[in-house]
Amino acid sequence: MHFYMVNFMMHGTIESECRWFTSRVEAQKFFRKMEKDEDCQQVFDVDEYDIPTRKKELLDWLNQYGNSNLGYN
C-alpha cells in the first residue's frame, strides 16, 4: 500500500510536522499550498512509502521506520 508524506516546518517552531496522503496528487497539491503559506518556514519533498498490509511485515516496517515524534525515522 502506497502512502505519501509531506514534511514541513512552520515559523516559530523547531520541529517539523508531517501530513500523510493516499494519493500522490493530493500530496503534491498540499506541498504547493504549503510552499505559498507565509506561516510555513520550509516544506520538504513529497516522500513515497510502500507500507505493508500484512501484520508481520507491518510490524517490521514500524520497528524500522516508526518514531513517536515524527511518524518516521
C-beta of residue 21 within 8 angstroms of C-beta of residue 27: yes
Q: Residue 25: pLDDT band by 50, 70, 90 thresholds? A: very high
Alpha-carbon distance 18 to 10, whole Å?
11
pLDDT tens digits, one per residue of 28-58:
999 989 888 888 888 888 889 899 999 999 9
Which of helix, strand or coil describes residue 53?
coil
Alpha-carbon distance 25 to 52, whole Å?
21
Q: Residue 73: pLDDT band by 50, 70, 90 thresholds? A: very low
What does the DSSP 8-state code read for residue 6?
E
